[in-house]
Amino acid sequence: MSAPKHVLGIDPASFHVGWCYLENGKHSNSGVISPPKKADLLTRRNFIREAVRELFVAFSSLPDLVVAVENPMSRSYGTIKILFTIKTLVEELAVVSGWVHIEVTPSEWHGCVYEEDAKRIDENVKDLALRLAKVHSDGAIELQDAADSYWVARFCYENARWT
Domain residue limits at 83? 6-159
Whether 79 is in a domain gets the answer yes
Sheet holding 6-11, edge to edge: 26-33, 17-23, 6-11, 65-70, 100-104
CATH number at residue 17: 3.30.420.10
Whether 129 is in a domain gets the answer yes
Whether 116 is in a domain gets the answer yes
pLDDT digit string, tens, across residues 43-100:
988 999 999 999 999 999 998 999 999 987 766 777 777 788 888 999 999 999 999 9
pLDDT digit string, tens, across residues 8-59:
999 998 788 999 999 999 999 999 999 998 988 889 889 999 999 999 999 9
Whether 102 is in a domain gets the answer yes
Name the domain count of the chain. Answer: 1
Whether 1 is in a domain gets the answer no
